[in-house]
Chains A and B, each alone.
Chain A
Amino acid sequence: MKTAPPTAPANSASVSTTRTPRPAVRRAEPRPRAAGALVAVGVGVLVIAALFVIDAVAPNLFPASLPTRAEDGLTLAISVLIESLPFVALGVVLSIVVQVWVPPGVIERWMPRRAWARRAVLSLLGMVVPVCECGNVPFARGLLMRGFTVPETLTFLIAAPIVNPIVIITTHQAFGFSDGILIARLIGGYAIANLIGWLYSRHPDPDGLLTDRFRAMCALVTDEPGGRARRSLAQFVIELRAVMPALVIGSALAGAVQVLIPREALLAIGSNPALSIVAMIALAMVVSICSNVDSFFALSFASTFTSGSIVAFLLVGPLVDIKMLALMRTTFTTRTLAGLVVVVVLSAFAIGTVVNLLA
């Protein structure tokens, strides 16, 4: 820790003795540091300006293009990245708000005490927190760091991409109330989330569901030194470091899989009641479309595929597609994710079958 600033060790003492809004350390901060920070930000601005120049100039220097297939894969990956970056940024901002700016106890006071009731409420949180699936992961990490239990956070993480106003509106636009697709999607998503929360609440060691890296990070973040602005910045750095590589790799995989697996291979299975559900679940995991719009995508399959398989597609896609799995791997162990995938896929299959039998 040669780079650690000299103020850090003194901080814990001052915070524990004075609970005034401005701890002594901050007031005593020498002026040269503020100037240094300004210079540093100036360097940052220059670096960003350099990136803009590269972005403008480089494409002219490399006119040679990639093979068609590689280029299509990259185009798909870039489009997912550009589309999900704003939601990730929003998720990071909300995570910072939850972690740094909301005083302790404010959220907790509103929560019911019983575990199942808390999970039931948390699975409705998506109705008021405007993040879609990509932004959910950083936000859920913020909840975990704040002290919500692993099963509670999982419940939120699974419910929010489906039980969410934008998704309800777009699904209604696409399907209306025909064949019970909208209702099955909403109730199914809510039920799967609470099922998963309940299953994992029976786990003997819920913290064991988290990766070591994330647990170590929680230990660090809970008593991060410095004022709120500094902690916000630190959280910004930490969250982006955790989420960005996973997002990029998940998007690249989603793009690559799309150009490598011919769509006919999945769709040849067609209108068989059971196989069509399997095919649509596989398709959902491969295409990694944002839950806000996947219903329009599914709509074009509605004429050839069974309603149950459409519902299964709409349930599995937002929860455990390739991109989401890469993102969730930042926080949960591979074992946990394997369990999640099994529960989600089996539940979606069951719900899809019920819809097929009723419709």
Chain B
Amino acid sequence: MHNAHSVGTRWLGVGLAAVLAVVTLGLALTGRLALYINPESSWFAVGMAVLVLVGAALSFALPLGAEAEHGHDHGIEAVDDVHHDTHPAALAATVVGGVAASGVVLLTLVLPPASLSAELAMSRDVGAPPLFAGSDAVTLAATGDTASFGVGEWAAVFATATNPDAFEGDAVTLTGFVTPREGASEGFDLTRLVITHCVIDAQPASLAIAASAPALDSPLDTGQWVTITGTVNSTADGRLEIDATSVEPIDEPEDPYEY
């Protein structure tokens, strides 16, 4: 009984942490950590994961049950307070919670890493223009240095540019996935999820691709990844969109997010 309890304590604490540390390091070793967190903070995640694993290995040297042990005579009662004096409902909650937490962590271990779906990106599109880096992108764009711009930066520029003509004719090559364009029968939106820190703060950035996009053999499905080449064009009503000269369907890239 005590042994089972001690093993439970180890698994739910050190065990869960160790599995997550292994997953973190596994992703880092295969270069896929960017599927979950901003690569800029990889060093921290990797360093602390190593530390967790060192601690986990050392913890095997601590005899089972020693963490609940006590130096004084009243020790046993105190321990029993922890173990048995709990309400049955509390015990049930602990067991259910423990099983749920173990399930999530084990799924994390055995399932292949995945990226967020296009459906999720669309459900997160609230119509507000994304302004990830403040107004830096717009300032930078005005100087004409847009070579490194991704969908996120261009979306900020498209949404906030006060002088759209300044960008007219800029050549772009961008990669993203296709989402339907609201209120338009032709053309589509090129969308990419942009992440600041980790996937939970992912926000969609979309660019309007003009209706005159070159005809494809088959219409593009929502969620299909494409690389487009074209130029920025301002429409009659003063908005910016992209005139695509080529739209090439591709497989999902290894780095599906922009940071």
Chain A residues near B (Cβ < 8 Å): 1-5, 8, 11-12, 15, 37-38, 40-41, 43-45, 47-48, 51-52, 54-56, 58-63, 65-66, 68-69, 71-72, 74-83, 85-90, 93, 173-174, 176, 212-213, 216-217, 219-220, 223-226, 230, 233-234, 236-245, 248-249, 251-252, 254-255, 258-259, 262-264, 267, 287-290, 292-294, 296-297, 299-304
Contact = CB atoms under 8 A, between A and B. Distances in A.
Secondary structure dominating the interface of B: helix
Nearest to A174: B134
Contacts of A292: 197
Given A1-B76, A75-B199, A76-B200, A236 B3 contact: no
B110 A58 contact: yes
Given A85-B21, A213-B82, A244-B101, A8 B71 contact: yes
Interface in B24-60: 24-27, 33, 36-37, 41, 44-45, 47-49, 51-53, 55-60
Residue from B3, B25, B52 whose CB has the most chain A CB atoms within 10 Å: B52
A5 B60 contact: no
A351 B93 CA distance: 37
Contacts of B112: 59-60, 62-63, 65
B13 A238 contact: yes
4 shortest interchain CB distances as A-B pairs? A241-B13, A44-B60, A86-B48, A240-B13
A236 B14 contact: yes
B255 interface: no
A173 B134 contact: yes
B239 interface: no
Residue from A40, A48, A242 whose CB has the most chain B CB atoms within 10 Å: A48
Contacts, number: 297
Secondary structure dominating the interface of A: helix
Interface residues on B, range: 35 or more
Contacts of A60: 112
A75 B114 CA distance: 6
B71 A225 contact: yes
Contact of A72 (B104, B109, B117, B196): B117
Interface string B1-25: 0110010011011101111111111
Contacts of B26: 52, 55-56
Given A86-B44, A220-B82, A244-B12, A41 B65 contact: no
B224 to A, nearest CB: 15
Given A244-B16, A245-B98, A83 B63 contact: no
Contacts of B111: 58-59, 62, 65-66, 74
A77 B104 contact: yes
Given A80-B198, A300-B128, 11 more contacts: A5-B63, A40-B60, A54-B109, A65-B111, A72-B116, A79-B199, A87-B48, A216-B81, A234-B66, A244-B12, A296-B201
Interface stretch (B119-127, B226-234, B244-252): B119-127
B237 interface: no
Interface string B90-109: 00000001101100110111
A301 B203 CA distance: 11
Residue from B16, B76, B200 whose CB has the most chain A CB atoms within 10 Å: B200
B14 A237 contact: yes
A95 to B, nearest CB: 13
Contacts of B199: 75-76, 78-79
Contacts of A68: 117, 119-120
Nearest to A223: B71
Contacts of A249: 97, 100-101, 104
A285 B33 CA distance: 26
Contacts of B117: 68, 71-72
B104 to A, nearest CB: 5
17 contacts: A3-B65, A54-B109, A66-B111, A68-B120, A74-B114, A83-B197, A85-B20, A234-B66, A240-B17, A258-B200, A263-B123, A264-B126, A292-B197, A293-B201, A294-B201, A296-B196, A303-B128
Contact of A267 (B21, B51, B58, B126): B126
Contacts of A12: 71-72
Nearest to A295: B196
Interface string B182-193: 000000000000
Contact of A3 (B2, B53, B115, B124): B2
B131 A302 contact: yes
A330 to B, nearest CB: 11
A237 B196 contact: no
Contact of A219 (B58, B78, B97, B201): B78
Contacts of B62: 230, 233-234, 237
Given A74-B111, A82-B24, A224 B69 contact: yes
B45 A82 contact: yes
A262 B123 contact: yes
B140 interface: no
Contacts of B10: 237, 241
B29 to A, nearest CB: 9
Contacts of B115: 75
Contacts of B109: 51, 54-55, 58
Interface string B180-218: 000000000000000011111101000000000000000
Nearest to B118: A68
B79 interface: yes
Contact of A44 (B2, B17, B59, B120): B59
B37 A83 contact: yes
A297 B201 contact: yes
A318 to B, nearest CB: 13
Contacts of A48: 18, 22, 53, 56-57
